[in-house]
Every structure is written in C-alpha cells, then in structure tokens.
Structure 1
Amino acid sequence: MVAIWKLIYKLNVEYLEIWKVYSFPSPTDVTKTLLNLIGDNTLGIAILASLKIVIIGYIIFIVIGLILGIIIVKFRYIDENLTSLILGLQILPSICWLPFAILWYGLNESSIIFIIVIGSVFSIAISVESSIKNINPIYIKAAKTLGAKGRRIYIDVILPASMPGFVAGMKQGWLFAWRALMAGEMLSATTGLGQILIMGRDLSDISQVIVIMLFIIVLGLIVENLILGKIEKNIKNRWE
C-alpha cells in the first residue's frame, strides 16, 4: 500500500503535476511529520487527552444506555411511545448537538463529553432493547419453572442472555464515540487529536492531517481487536 501511495504521488504530483504538493503528501513527508509530532510530545499529549475524554464519555453512555434500554423493555407504554423518538435521535448526527453543548457547558471538555454521550447513548439503548426482545423465550420459561421471578429473571437470565447483542452495541457505540469526539475537538479549545487535525488544516499541512487520521484508525482498531473483539468472542462462545 505504501508503494502504491508513493507511485500515485510520483505520477500525479511530480510528473504530471495534476496535484499540488500541499494537497497530496508523500509517505516520506508523512513520516517526517509523524517523527516531529512524536519528538516534541505533541502527539502523545493529544492521544492521552482524547482517550481520557472518549473513555469518560464511553462509560457514561454505556451506563445510561443500558438503563434506558431496560426501561424501554420493562414498560410497554414507554416502548410504544419513545422507541420511534429514540430511533430518530440516533439518526441525528452528533454534531447537531454542538450548539447546545457550547451554550450549556462552554468550549471545554464537558461539552465534548456531552456530545459523545448524546451521540452514542441511543445506539446502546436500541441494542439493549433489541437484544432483550430477541432472547430465546425458552430461557425465561425455564427460569420461571425453576422458581425465578421478578428481578432475579433479569439478573440471572435476561441480562446475561442479551450480552452478545449488548457487546455488539458497545462496539457500535465506540465508533459513534470517536466520531463525536473528533467533531467536538475540532470546534473546541482542547489539546486532543481533533485540535491537531484542525491545526493541520488551517496551516495547509496535509501531512499532519494524514498522521492524525492514521492514528485515529490505529487507536480504533486496537480497542476493537484487543478489548471489544475478545469480549464479544468469549461471550458468543459461552452462549452458542
């Protein structure tokens, strides 16, 4: 892929001169920018700042989404009247909430956390609601036959059986969280990856933009493969 990238750069920038140097960087330029960002610790500080915000927001919307999903399933009136609204709010891009975040919290980390939570919580609620409704009825019947009732059915049967779908929702929520994080950081006064990305745009430093994009991909894949992916695999193996 790097060789193809280099070939495209040589052909379109140096030989045919279709693109300008500042509009399409070479792998060498991106590597130099990466080393500079690592050398002055700019990248390290930005990664830690972004991870702190996204993890806080992630934990908050997981808890709220889990509770909201259970409430929707538990109360039929809420299910019939709020499910469509929640689906509509999930379709709404998280960037649409930015004006509210700025008015309520200002240009700081709290506003970004709000955008992450509001942009992702509904996907978790929908996943929980769908997972619980799709549980094999024989599990619940067997639990009732053995004497379980009330909250014990939820704690011992329904919630564990809905975990595969819930973890899938967690993975989707992680993606939504990163998108919301970038949208918030690019418009707020923070030291995260989004701010470095927007600085690269303002300075016409396309190499810096590419570096941040690559690191966002890498961080997302690390969490997906090393944490969420393993959790999902273990849960599926347990329930299959």
Structure 2
Amino acid sequence: MALEINAKPEAAEADGTRTGGTKNDGSSTGGTKPELSRQISGLDALELAAGTRRNPLSRAWSSVWPMASAVLIALLAWQIVVWSGWKPSYVLPGPGDTLPELGRQLTKGSFWGAVGLTMQRAVIGFAVSVVVGTLVGALVTQSSVLRRAVGSLITGLQTMPSIAWFPLAILLFQLSEQAILFVVVLGAAPSIANGLIAGVDYTPPILLRAGKVMGLRGLNLYRHLILPASLPSFVAGLKQGWAFAWRSLMAGELLVVISSHTSLGVLLSQAREFSQTDAMISYMIVILIIGIVMDRLFGLVDGAIRTRWGLDGD
C-alpha cells in the first residue's frame, strides 16, 4: 500500500512535466512552451525564406511578361482586323505600317518638343489640382455644414465631362494656356478631394481619440495622424485625379489650339486633318504609353505604402 501511495505523486509529477503543469513546489515546468516557441520560430523563418527566395530577375520577369503578353495580343487583334478588310489600309493601317512611323517620330526633335510641352502642362495642372483638391477636402472634413453644402457638389463636378467646361473656359480665358489649366483643374481636383474625404471618413475613431489624448489638435492632428491614416485612400484619389487631368488635357489640346505651341494634341489634330492615319495612331500610342507609365509610378507609391503598413502579401 505504501508503495502505491508513493508511486502516485511520482506519476502525477511526470504527467505534470509532460503536460506543462506545475510541480509539487508550485513552480511551472512549461514543458511544451520551448518546443512551441521553436516551432513558431521555424514557421516565421520559413515564411521569410519563402518571401526572399525569388531573385530580382525572376521578380522582374513576373512583372514584365503579363504586360508583354497583353501588348502582343493587342497587336495580333489589330492585325486581324486589318486582314479582315473592314477598312482600307489608308484608313486603318496595320502595325507593320504604324510602328515604323512611330520609330521615325521618335527620332524627331519637334516630336519631343511637343511631348515636353504636353507633360509640362500635365505636371502644372496636376500640381494645382493637388493643392486645390487637398484644401477643399480638408475643409469639408472639418465642417459638417460645409460637407452638407458642397459634398454632393464635389461628386457632381467629378462626374461632369471635362469637355463640357471648354466653352466656358474659352469665353473666360480665350484660346490660352489658362483655358486648358482651368479645365484640367476642374477635372482632377474633385477626385483628389473625394479621395481625401473618404480617407478621413474611414480613419478609425480610436486613433482620433488617441491623438487627442496625446495633445494633437488642429493642424498637428492632421499632419501627424489623419493624413497618414488616410494616405491609401488619398493616393487612390491622386491616381484617379491624374487620370481625369490627363483626359482633360488631351481634350483641351485638341480644342484649344494656340499658335506657336505644338503639343501632342496639336500633332494628333494635324495628322487627322492631313489624313496621316499612321502618324495619328503613332501619337495615340505615345499618349497611351505615357498613361501606362504614370499608372506604374502610382502603383509603386501604392506598393510602398502597402509594404510600410504590412499589407504586402508577396
């Protein structure tokens, strides 16, 4: 009987050691905790290794081949339409006629001067739009009365076609750079303002309360808390604003022709008037490429934000 009584505490102690319980003196054995920590560390190391296993060349190729495939598919579809005989070749030339013309345009200094003027207008118009849209968005988010007064108006301006502003712009500013800038700002600023408003609206209230407890008020609250928290939505608004600015600018350059100011829109209009379809499509391809490059730049900014916030799953 004594042997059985002595054996039970030993068995209980052994079981407690295996299950991570407590010994008779009350101290924790933690038998499984070191093993669990080693397993979690191993999983973390495996995940990190999986994220860094791909070399830069493979990452570059994985980002290039989808776009290259899309370009090849588009060129093939274009050539098939030409082969179908839907339109004569002088109306719709194929890639074999257009791409050499694009190469010739790229060697001309006048072409690059036109691209430079268009990009200068785009950068200035977009910069002014960012300032105006950010100020309007910040004011609307700070005043409920102002939000009820102009909130729907901002959305209405965003949905309004930019080309509808040009008759008014020409009346106000004649055929000038100010007329183009006026329409570009009206096309882009509402999207930027709505992006900031959406970002502020979706800022977690607990962050706002924490910021006020830490003494953030007014401009400091915006600078150190609200703007960083609303940055993803704000960048999305900037991206959309650039798209509207670019479309408004192209429409403006087609409608507002300023003497001695040759831009991409002017070259496009001249090619249409002289029935130079291959040159016209070449300019359209350049406009498309610029739009794609800007989209990639905004994508890099968005990717950097996602990485900083720990949202990048790659």
TM over 0.5: yes
Deviation at 1:230, TM superposition (A): 1.4
Selected match of 2:295 from 202, 209, 224: 224
Match of 1:33 in 2: 101
Secondary structure (helix, strand or coil) at the match of 2:255 reads: coil
Deviation at 1:3, TM superposition (A): 4.0
Instruction: Give the unaligned 5+ runs of structure 1.
Output: none
Match of 1:201 in 2: 272
Alignment of structure 1 residues 48-63 onto 2, 5 Å? 48-63=116-131
Matched, 1:22 2:98: no
Percent identity between the two aligned chains = 34
Matched, 1:212 2:310: no
The CA RMSD over aligned residues, in Å, is 1.6
After TM superposition, the structure 1 stretch with the greater mean CA deviation from structure 2, 188-197 or 77-86, is 188-197
Aligned length, in residue pairs: 234
Cα distance in 1 for partners of 2:211, 2:204 equals 12
Secondary structure (helix, strand or coil) at the match of 1:107 reads: coil
Match of 1:237 in 2: 307
Contact 1:115 1:180 in 2 (8 A): yes
Cα distance in 2 for partners of 1:140, 1:238 equals 21
Match of 2:216 in 1: 148
Deviation at 1:116, TM superposition (A): 0.6
Question: Which residue identity lines up with residue 95 of structure 1 in the other structure?
Answer: I
Deviation at 1:4, TM superposition (A): 4.2
Deviation at 1:42, TM superposition (A): 3.0
Select the structure of larger CA radius of gyration: 2
Secondary structure (helix, strand or coil) at the match of 2:186 reads: helix
Alignment of structure 1 residues 90-109 onto 2, 5 Å? 90-109=158-177
Deviation at 1:37, TM superposition (A): 2.0
Higher relative contact order (CA closer than 8 Å, sequence separation 6+): 1
Question: Which residue identity lines up with residue 203 of structure 1 in the other structure?
Answer: F
Cα distance in 2 for partners of 1:209, 1:32 equals 13
Instruction: Give the unaligned 5+ runs of structure 2.
Output: 1-71
After TM superposition, the structure 1 stretch with the greater mean CA deviation from structure 2, 163-172 or 39-48, is 39-48
Deviation at 1:22, TM superposition (A): 2.0
Contact 1:161 1:239 in 2 (8 A): no
Cα distance in 1 for partners of 2:80, 2:170 equals 44
